[in-house]
Chains A and B, each alone.
Chain A
């Protein structure tokens, strides 16, 4: 293995404290804060603070994983590979959470856990793509080959994810907010109250995912150091 960059730095303590602080704020305001009262949506509008940041976080982490994969292909540093792996796994976790929170929301607003909505289908396919990544990764004995092939697949998967999530759903009708004349989240927060929770929520969840990926990558780095 390449020993050029043999360490992954932990996140600065100030950033960790900042993350915790806004997370507490988001949870407090998310459950207790004032929200507009809307027909059908009712209190489920609070899902904006928990479901939508999952997708933002997932996309940012998968983007990060693709960037680290490109870096791995260019420089072959073990740490880049471990970053890409950790970010992808956290992206999958956020994707599952986003799907579950979306399904719970859909049950109470659309009336069914799963209605085959284009957004639901697209996110399920996207998850399948990245679950396949973990299968691919576990089927190589040679570490360098494993890292190279999974980096290649990761880049390919990310580029296949973009049309899946953003172009294809627009070709068909969807019930999802922001599609086909359904109001997006910008329409709910006319008085701007929700913005003050939503944007911090996106930042908090993304930082939380980044922190977790950092820990996971460092753990895997240590495990690789143990002679088998």
Chain B
């Protein structure tokens, strides 16, 4: 019964979150334009780009875009809405919802970035399966770390500065793995080489999710 109730609450929250995003459409459009504009400027300067710079540019753009997109999760909450959430929702559940929506928007942005860069700069990836696996794994990792960072930066005197300052070093271990996996996708390596790295990423994700679930209630207190 309890589990059923929890799932129901989460579904309602997810729907609420989605509606809120949709009604503030300018934010969604803004994120897409941020990404597309960045890629366009970079391809003008980098052309003709080698495959290594393609991968580097792809993940740099995703890093900057994800910091930008996810800074919104807690920084943009008005104090009224924050109060409403505090009264109605356990903090961890709200955090999980934010991670889910963040992951989903990052996946959409990653797909868009692949298409745009494929059109403007060519598509050098030889094993798309590995590349998609990398994207699928890195989405939740970026979202988990950055929602936590966003919750930490809330209430600070310089939240916009704190997002990248805290986020970049925390994300670097993950990005090193992402870069390694993307290089494998680029060279079209065999799947057997990929699994240890994908496993390491999955382990990192599980660890950070568990840590986040333990630590988030302390950030949620006022």
Contact = CB atoms under 8 A, between A and B. Distances in A.
Interface residues of B, number: 29
B84 interface: no
B200 interface: yes
A125 B169 contact: yes
B143 to A, nearest CB: 15
A129 B169 contact: yes
Given A125-B173, A136-B156, A148-B221, A156 B215 contact: yes
Nearest to A135: B165
Contacts of B52: none
Contacts of B219: 148-149, 152
Nearest to B164: A132
A156 B155 contact: no
Contacts of B221: 148
Interface in B148-185: 148, 152, 155-158, 161-162, 165-166, 168-170, 172-173, 176-177, 180
A154 to B, nearest CB: 10
A40 interface: no
A172 B221 CA distance: 41
Contacts of B41: none
A156 B148 contact: yes
A129 B172 CA distance: 10
Given A73-B215, A149-B152, A153-B166, 6 more contacts: A128-B168, A139-B162, A155-B215, A168-B173, A168-B177, A171-B196
